[in-house]
Structure 1
Amino acid sequence: MSSKINFTFDNVLGVYYAGQIVSGTAELITERSKTIRSIYVTVNGFVETRWQESVEKPGDDGKLVKSLETRTATEIFYSNDKYVYGQSGGSQLELPKGKYVFPFQTTIPPQAPTSFNGTHGQVKHEVTLTIDRAVRYNNIFKQCFTVILPNDLNANPSLSQPLNRIEEKTFWWGSIFGGNKPMVMDVSTTYSAYVPGQKINFHVVLDNQSDVQCQDVKVRLFKNVKYRGKANDQEQVKTTEVRIADKHCGEVDKHNKALFDEYLMVPPTTPSTLSERDPIQVSYTLRFIAKTFRLHGGGDLIVDFPLVIGTVPLVGSANDKGPAQKAQQANTNGNYSPLPEPNFQEDVSTEHFESNTYKPRYPVYHFDGQLGFANGAAAAKSPVPSLYPKAVDTTPAAPVEYTPNPVSPAGKPIATVIQKTPPYPVQAPASGVTAPGGDFEVLGFSIPPGYQPTPSAPADGPGSIGWK
């Protein structure tokens, strides 16, 4: 083991909103010198989808032949390269053994999509340090970070409206005994949109007039993902549905009626996609199921609602006590409980795209003020969620001892880096939380030096050459 990398972000959790500046350092440690051409750091964001489908095509003999066809799509949102040692296409240099600290910084585009990792695609934001070696393969070290595109639920007034529907179903089992009365389900929620960590308070009345027993009334939240890809210049779509939350209310005997005032907790999950043009689109379905025996015929009684998951909760939703009390809540004359400050937790989904096992972190709210998650942060009165820790609440980092980067000409003073405080509300990290961006080590390999060192490129040379 001759090389390793420690990536550190200025935000200890490595979580940023679209439009903010992501910055940090990449600490390179080499145990022996190596011959290279350059070292550059790339900060980029991109989306890619890929899956295979079985298709039938005419063969040489005219008969249909089955084959696998790959659907794929790739789009780059932003990319910034900075050479921190040497230059592009430069002469060979010797990198002495030691510890080097290379800073990186770039602005995330305001409309950059939220980080996502799914079965058939990913929205990935990452920092990459590349050691361009002269005679062998490059050493490449990567670290992902989370980007969140804000989705303020208050921007759409219709989302504050309740969900309500009455459905009924009849079964052929009842007609055998001379009756054909229905099973009727009346379902309602307080709002049409919620945020992770919030309770979906629902009201269900199941009037089982039929001769069929309802085994269980289930409430489930499904995450629906639509992937877009192309094959032979033709766009294709792949959809998946994954259950991320589940609630069992209980059974209802035949010729009986039951009422359920319960709630379903929204787990840490990807916010709903705002754009319909994105290669990966995320939406949600809230499903109410009256489960019956298959023997009775007709299937289960199901009621589906489209649900929106955002990053900023509806004003007044912290006072939500259920659909039956919404009218009473509307008469509070604006005296709502202050919005809690979110904390950030890894995606509850276990799916991932190919070899990428990184789990993005999403904002999670706790309206009861309790810190129930590993990276919880104290509730605050500020209605604007923030991702940066306060300097006064952050333990000062120990000074880093490292070998001076040999990119500056001899005798030229090294510029002092000035640390600036962000001009927006900030939030302290929770104690005892190991941040994914802190002390992240990546291992690599090198070869013994075989060339004489030559002068390096000037430090004030061009710092960005586009996509690498």
Structure 2
Amino acid sequence: MSATCVIEFEDNPRKIIYAGQLLRGMVRLNLTENTNVRSVYVRIKGKAFASWKSGKTKVEAKEKYLDEKMYLVGSYVAGEISLEAGMHEYAFEFIMPSSVPSSIDGKIGHIKYTVRVVLDVPLWMSKVFKEEFTLIKALNLNDQQSLRQPLTVEEISGVLPFCLQCFDRNRIYILARAPVSGFLPRQTVNLEINVQNRSSVAISHFTIELIQLITYLKDYDCCGYKSNYKKQEEKSLFTGTSDGCNEVEYKTIHIAAEIPPTPPTEILMSKVVKVTYLIRVKACTPLLYKNVILNLPITIGSYPFQDNVMS
């Protein structure tokens, strides 16, 4: 038996759907010969998986969020049904649960959602066709009033060389400020960096990075105590540079960064995969000296603030 299958998402070529919304689609099944089946069904699946090494221990974490079926032909108790050769078209629809996490794809783990079309063929292995789609768990920035407040991070650092004989007792004061801590994809983050360089070492330039932090967790019991394995990876989504600051100079620097399309912050819906974001500001000093780094934790949402606080 030879067959091809195309799974289409209605009015949704990007295959993106929000949690709580209705997913509609069409199955176009083409059979090259008459085929007996017990059933043909659509299966929607969503799950998390991660695998990594912790010392000598191999850790695997799994979690299932969604597993729903819709029969297009027959049922699980039906007898054999004959399908004629040619094209067969079937519509399907599912309401996505609201309490599921967003899709994410990391180096050692992921959260994935798929639509599968299954031909249950008697005396043969089932034939499965699969199409992945992106699910977004919407995050409304208005639900967290603290995100409206200015975000400020300060770092006071001595000029610490790798050769301590060159130690400069004067310090570098850096304060990085964003107008709010909640943002949307494609929104511009306007950072203000105030620098008081009281040292004799110049800052050659500043870099700014938008970092996606993906944290993987695996719970386990040890001697009656609950604990977990934990692994974190970083993904740089944006990098920019600006002017530096000379020795014994006070300066204010403005840097603008646009947040690219990316899933919202997600720390509640999954026990296996957590997704957070931060803006990392780095003051780059000569090779013999340690760079000064500031991390500004931000939240990326799906719905904007309802007033003009971010404009």
* Same fold per superposition (TM over 0.5): yes
Structure 1 283/177 Cα, relative in aligned 2: closer, same or farther at 3 Å?
Answer: closer
Would you say the 8 A contact 1:292–1:300 is kept in 2? yes
Larger RCO of the pair (alpha carbons < 8 Å, separation 6+): 1
Q: What are the within-5 Å matches in structure 2 for residues 48-197 of structure 1?
A: 48-55=49-56, 69-88=57-76, 90-172=78-160, 180-197=169-186
**How far apart in 1 are the matches of 2:153 and 2:113?**
41
Q: Does 2:225 align with 1:237? A: no
Structure 1 unmatched ranges of 5 or more? 56-68, 321-468
Matched with 1:65 is: none
Would you say the 8 A contact 1:285–1:307 is kept in 2? yes
How many correspondences in the alignment? 305
Structure with greater proportional strand content? 2
**How far apart in 1 are the matches of 2:211 and 2:144?**
22
**How far apart in 1 are the matches of 2:75 and 2:181?**
54
How far residue 283 of structure 1 moved from its aligned partner, in angstroms, is: 0.5
**How far apart in 1 are the matches of 2:155 and 2:51?**
39
Structure 1 52/224 Cα, relative in aligned 2: closer, same or farther at 3 Å?
Answer: same
Q: Helix, strand or coil: the match of 2:146?
A: helix
**How far apart in 2 are the matches of 1:121 and 1:178?**
43
Matched with 1:24 is: 25
CA RMSD of superposed structures (Å): 2.5
TM score, norm. by length of structure 1: 0.60
How far residue 9 of structure 1 moved from its aligned partner, in angstroms, is: 1.7
Structure 1 307/83 Cα, relative in aligned 2: closer, same or farther at 3 Å?
Answer: same
Would you say the 8 A contact 1:50–1:229 is kept in 2? no
How far residue 180 of structure 1 moved from its aligned partner, in angstroms, is: 2.2
How far residue 90 of structure 1 moved from its aligned partner, in angstroms, is: 4.3
How far residue 276 of structure 1 moved from its aligned partner, in angstroms, is: 6.7
Q: Helix, strand or coil: the match of 2:288?
A: helix
**How far apart in 1 are the matches of 2:168 and 2:15?**
62
Q: Which amino acid is the alignment partner of residue 261 of structure 1?
A: H
Matched with 2:301 is: 310
How far residue 278 of structure 1 moved from its aligned partner, in angstroms, is: 2.8
Q: Which amino acid is the alignment partner of residue 51 of structure 1?
A: W
How far residue 230 of structure 1 moved from its aligned partner, in angstroms, is: 5.5
How far residue 224 of structure 1 moved from its aligned partner, in angstroms, is: 0.5
Q: Does 2:2 align with 1:6? A: no
How far residue 265 of structure 1 moved from its aligned partner, in angstroms, is: 0.9
Would you say the 8 A contact 1:71–1:230 is kept in 2? no
**How far apart in 2 are the matches of 1:47 and 1:206?**
43
Would you say the 8 A contact 2:179–2:310 is kept in 1? no
Indicate the percent of aligned positions where both proteins have the same amino acid. 23
Matched with 1:463 is: none
The structure having more radius of gyration, on CA atoms, is 1
Structure 1 165/318 Cα, relative in aligned 2: closer, same or farther at 3 Å?
Answer: closer
Q: Does 2:200 align with 1:207? A: no
Structure 1 78/175 Cα, relative in aligned 2: closer, same or farther at 3 Å?
Answer: closer
Structure 1 141/194 Cα, relative in aligned 2: closer, same or farther at 3 Å?
Answer: same
Structure 1 179/116 Cα, relative in aligned 2: closer, same or farther at 3 Å?
Answer: closer
Would you say the 8 A contact 2:267–2:276 is kept in 1? no
Structure 2 unmatched ranges of 5 or more? none
Q: Deviations over 1:179-220 (max 9, x none)?
A: 521112122110011111011101112222211121211111
**How far apart in 1 are the matches of 2:236 and 2:218?**
24
- Alignment match of 2:215 (pick from 197, 206, 226): 226
How far residue 311 of structure 1 moved from its aligned partner, in angstroms, is: 0.6
Q: Helix, strand or coil: the match of 2:26?
A: strand
**How far apart in 2 are the matches of 1:232 and 1:155?**
35
Would you say the 8 A contact 2:101–2:269 is kept in 1? no
Structure 1 96/212 Cα, relative in aligned 2: closer, same or farther at 3 Å?
Answer: same
Q: Deviations over 1:164-192 (max 9, x none)?
A: 23322222569867952111212211001
How far residue 305 of structure 1 moved from its aligned partner, in angstroms, is: 1.6
Matched with 2:246 is: 253
